[in-house]
Structure 1
Amino acid sequence: MSDIEKGSLQSEAYRGASGRRNANPGPLGLFSFASTTLILSLYNVGARGVQTPNVIVGMALFCGGLAQFLAGMWEFPNGNTFGATVFTSFGAFWLSFATILIPGSGILIAYGPQVVSKERESALGIYFMTWMTVTFLFFIVSLRKSISLAALLGTLTITIALLGAHEFTEKADIGKAAGGLGIVVALIAYYIGLGEMLAAEKAAVVRLPLGAFKHD
């Protein structure tokens, strides 16, 4: 069993009952998650003066949402419960987040037309804190998988907690801190995704260490 099989979000290419060698859906899920997270995080830190993050809706629906959800579905026949659960869950997260931001959904306007609404901010804060809890549970499982995966989910847990705290307190500095840490999360996810993609190649230019833990 290879390090990537033991220490990543997914198992290495799996030969099912039909004898066919399945491709690794891990890089798709990781790159989709990383790209969507990077864009939103850059918006959160105010890059290029962007204050309204609604351009993220398209990415959240089709990249972070649909593509990652499909990666999770493809992990189930590979027998990888952890990867299937993580990818599917975060795919659903991005789909739900995009739905909140779509004006036609009526979700945000239900709290009133004003720019700042205490009830709306509290509702979003609870939303983020719930996902922080889910991510922390994933982090606990990752502690026996690899250093890189634990770093990804640990950092993501803090990032989502900061997003929730930003909604509760309405302090801009906390939102920017969440954005800055989110950029780190995206870079870690890119690294793991690239490492898994290279590991799937027989003649890869280089191999990236993921820090997989050795198990007996």
Structure 2
Amino acid sequence: MKKRSVEQIDYCRDEVCGHCPGSVWGAKSICRVHQRSIGEIEECPQWEITVKETRAIYYARDPDKHPARTEQMEQIERELKDYPWMLREIERLRGMLEEAGVGLTGVYGLDGVMPKGKGTHANSVHREAQRREKHWTRLKQLEATVARIDAAAERLVDDRQRTILECIMEGERMNRIAQHIGVSRQRLHELKLELVRRLAEDIFGVGRQGAS
């Protein structure tokens, strides 16, 4: 059997264990079948049930809980997953540009460093200027994404949703977050979907009356 990735294991714990009668979700998060914490389980025969089949059974029992996912929600989920990495990458890019003598507090312009002559040295300077420009553009894109998420987080009024969001932004695993706020993984999954939906509405205007 092919070894599962960390993301696949987390997904199975969420989507399969959360509906399995052998699981006792909550503060202990214990599986009665394996007699250990669900966070310690790396493989289970029950995981061979596909996520799609599990969801179909779950939502057949309670159709009102079926989430209408949108492209904007998918984007928000990706950005939240990447948030800790984006912070590290921003710091890395800033350090590279500062070491190269680019003032981050000023206005960056490629014209100021472009070579005026020809030859090997001029070509080398030109390539370096292009490389810095690419780093600068990427830095600005990452900073804009992080700032957008930070601003939306500040506008959340629900304390529990804000706690969930901050834990995700800090890179906490879902089982740790569930234990922290005192809910089951299944309930946390529902809360996360609602959180992502609210962020999509806030950032992209999805679901707002009159939104384009």
TM-score range (shorter-chain normalised) is under 0.3
TM-score (norm 2): 0.27
Q: Which has the larger radius of gyration?
A: 2
Name the TM-score, length of structure 1 as normaliser. 0.27
